[in-house]
Amino acid sequence: MVQFDTLAILIALGSLGFIYYRKSKKGPYSHLPLPPGPPRKPIVGNLFNMPSRPEWEDYHKISKDFDTDIIYLNVVGTNIVVLDTHDAAMELLERRSSKYSSRAHLPMVNELMGWDFAVGFKEYGQQWRDCRRLMHHSFHPGAVVLFRPHMQRATRNLLKRFLDYPDNIMGNIRHMSGEGILSITYGLDVQADNDPYIKVAEQSLAGFAEAAVPGAFLVDSFSLLKYVPEWFPGAGFQTKARIWRDAAFEMRDYTFTGAKKNVLAGTSPHCFVSANLNEMDPAKPDPVKEQLVKDTAGSMYSAGTDTTLSAVGSCILAFLEYPETLKKAQAELDRVIKPGHLPDFNDYDSLPYITALTMETLRWRDVGPIGLPHVLIEEDEYKGYRIPAGTIVIANSWAMLHNEETYKDPFTFNPDRFLTKDGKLDKTARDPAHACWGFGRRVCPGRYLAFSGVWITLASLAAVFDITKAIDEKGNVIEPSHEYVNSAIIVPKPFQASVKPRSEAFAQIIRDSVAAA
């Protein structure tokens, strides 16, 4: 449900509902009906019956109940449309992307928390295009190859951490994902424990994940609430925003300062920041370009950490419930990888099951079930329905990736769905990329990097570790709860498992690989 710090603010400022309840301006489609959806109450609309978390499941249920691929809700005058199928998302977000590529202005995130620097939250315009251009230049398929050493080093350090801390599953993965994106973005090394860069990122991303969900805070519907002082009864959201804002700026500025120092000293390895700063003329400082690089780097760091954490954590959960998938992965790896070696990217074409495993991981527990919402900039029509200008448009990726017509037994973890009978990748199977990376001009610019990072991590873990359900002191199996932190990016809550090297020889391979790095 909508998060209420208290009803005191709503009671004190209840009249704002009349101010914010607005009807759309007359347009060419004003005679058409709105898309189907739950009944709305005067003024507040669907405010008090918005879907509970995980909302993507409720959105899908509503779509099924109304037998439609598009549903409409209204929260205090804010129009919300949810797209339940790939066809609907393709028609609106891809083919009509010029209309649907802006972002919702969320006062909590953009203003109070200061996340307006992030590419994902920028409105569709020149600033956004400048940031996207920088990201595309560094992360198109050809350029991503340059970052493979960063990903491989972070992965091998992860293997060593599992030798040293086998019980800290999510903590180990979080450290690895932070290390990898720090290295790729800023060229910075991290400490084995209690790294300050990773710590500040965790603090910032925790708030971001909570606030980025549409409707999570009332201030996003009653924007005048942003002027309520922190001391006002019930203004707990202001306190949260201040703490999260400080963490966001520290994450963006602290890491960039460290990277820039190394670039100026000539000691920075190839990374996003060094590549862009080195293109600038030292004799002609360009503070606008430097700020653009800083903001874009901060966006990458924030977006890349929890996504990898989510995917790898979900795959380990899948190994626990479907142990045959790990055995199949290990059989393929044992056939392909030379004794005494670990997988690397040169093995990609020879490991189709690992690729299918990665694809199924991204489909089974998709990292961003509803992604970040788009905003329609002018009134539009779809299937005889009117979509008002300014509507927040949500693509329900979870529904698309669990569509029974596309994926048989969609809630079963089955990498074989992406393989032919002879074990090759099946080009006729629908790649989860059709929904898991977003749509249109807002598709994830780091998707090739992200897929590569998850691939090498899963291949390496499967190659050297047996991963099974944990056993308690009485010999009972500990069943994982499969509970997630449900936010803009879903992340498994900490869980227990047994992670042991397949043999002492594999443990030594891990140690040798880290020592040689």
In-domain check, residue 171: yes
In-domain check, residue 476: yes
* Bond prior to 54 in cis (omega within 30° of 0): yes
The domain in which residue 245 lies consists of 117-367+403-516
Q: Are the beta carbons of 458 and 354 closer than 8 angstroms?
A: yes
Q: Are the beta carbons of 375 and 104 closer than 8 angstroms?
A: yes
Contacts 24+ apart (CB under 8 A), 197-202: 197/254, 197/255, 197/258, 198/174, 200/247, 200/250, 200/251, 200/254, 200/255, 201/251, 201/301, 201/302, 201/305, 202/174, 202/178
Q: Which residues contact 40 (CB under 8 A, 6 or more apart)?
A: 46, 73, 74
In-domain check, residue 395: no
Q: Outline where 109-168 has alpha helix (H).
A: 126-139, 141-144, 148-164
Q: How many residues does the chain have?
A: 517
In-domain check, residue 79: no
In-domain check, residue 46: no
Q: Which residues contact 469 (CB under 8 A, 6 or more apart)?
A: 320, 477, 478, 479, 480, 497, 498
d(CA 38, CA 74): 9
d(CA 105, CA 110): 7
Element (H, E) at 78: strand 78-83
The answer to whether the annotation marks 444 as part of a ligand binding site is yes
**Distance (Å) of CA 75 to CA 51, 84, 123, 198, 395:** 12, 19, 21, 37, 18
d(CA 495, CA 419): 30
The amino acid that residue 375 corresponds to is V
d(CA 47, CA 222): 11
Residue 498, burial from CB neighbour count under 10 angstroms (0-12, 13-18, 19+): middle
* Overall number of domains in the chain: 1
DSSP-derived secondary structure for 382-407? ETTEEE-TT-EEEE-HHHHHT-TTTS
Could you tell me which of 272, 246, 231, 315 has the C-alpha nearest to residue 119? 272
In-domain check, residue 457: yes
Indicate which CATH number applies to the domain containing 300.
1.10.630.10
Per the DSSP assignment, residues forming a β-bridge with 111 are: none
Per-residue pLDDT of the chain (517 residues; tens, 9 = 90+): 344 343 333 333 333 433 333 444 568 888 999 999 999 999 888 888 787 778 899 999 999 999 999 999 998 888 999 999 999 999 999 999 999 999 877 888 888 998 888 888 888 888 889 988 988 888 999 989 999 999 999 999 999 999 999 999 999 999 999 899 999 999 988 877 777 878 777 777 777 777 776 667 888 877 888 899 988 888 889 999 999 889 888 888 989 999 999 999 999 999 999 999 998 887 788 899 999 999 999 888 777 788 899 999 999 999 999 999 999 999 999 999 999 999 999 999 999 999 999 999 999 999 999 988 899 999 999 999 999 999 999 999 999 999 999 999 999 999 999 999 999 999 999 999 999 999 999 999 999 999 999 999 999 999 999 999 999 999 999 999 999 987 778 999 999 999 999 999 999 999 999 988 7
Could you tell me which of 368, 499, 510, 379 has the C-alpha nearest to residue 30? 379
In-domain check, residue 123: yes
Phi/psi class of residue 140: alpha, beta or left (left: φ > 0; alpha: ψ in -120 to 50)?
beta
In-domain check, residue 359: yes
